[in-house]
Amino acid sequence: MAIVTLDQQDSTPIYAQLERGVRAAIATGRLRPGDQLPTVRQLAVDLQVNANTVARVYAELERSGVIETKRGVGSFITASPAQAHPPREHERRVRTFVTRVLADAAAHGLTVDEVIAGLRAHRKGGT
């Protein structure tokens, strides 16, 4: 069984799905520091993707300090669950959430100022 699954219907590029999947597996504890990853070739076969795609992801994960590759031995997880998140992931999630909230607010005829006022009131305990 592959360490991650890919969604061929998803418009997200395969390499991005793979990187996100490995990081998520570490963040959730399915992969732990010291665990060995499949070889590039084996994971490519398991996922039915080009080996260059897997190699690209492994290289990026190594540059990010998430994995370490020991020549002739293999690639190993080095990041803790907290370290597995991509840089600026939190900011990206906040931006995505805010965009969704503002689009929903606009669809309901609410202004940004009304949304902010509502959030402030809610924070203070009012509704």
Tens of pLDDT, residue by residue over 68-109, are: 999 999 999 999 888 887 767 667 778 888 999 999 999 999
Average pLDDT, the chain: 90
Domains along the sequence of the chain with CATH: 14-84 (1.10.10.10), 89-123 (no CATH)
Partnered with residue 77 across adjacent β-strands are: 67
Which CB contacts under 8 angstroms, 24+ apart, belong to 88-95?
none
pLDDT band of residue 113 (cuts 50, 70, 90) is: very high
Q: What is the pLDDT of residue 93?
A: 75
> In this predicted model, what pLDDT tens digit does every residue of 96-107 receive, in sequence order?
889 999 999 999
What share of the chain has pLDDT > 90, as a percent? 72
* pLDDT surpassing 90 at residue 14: yes
Tell me the angle at which helices 14-27 and 51-63 cross, rounded to the nearest 10 degrees: 50
Report pTM.
0.68
Q: What is the pLDDT of residue 104?
A: 93
Tell the residue number behind the tokens 């990206």, with chain if given.
92
- Using CA atoms, how far apart are residues 19 and 60, in angstroms rounded to an integer? 8
Q: What are phi and psi of 68, to 5 degrees?
A: -130, 135
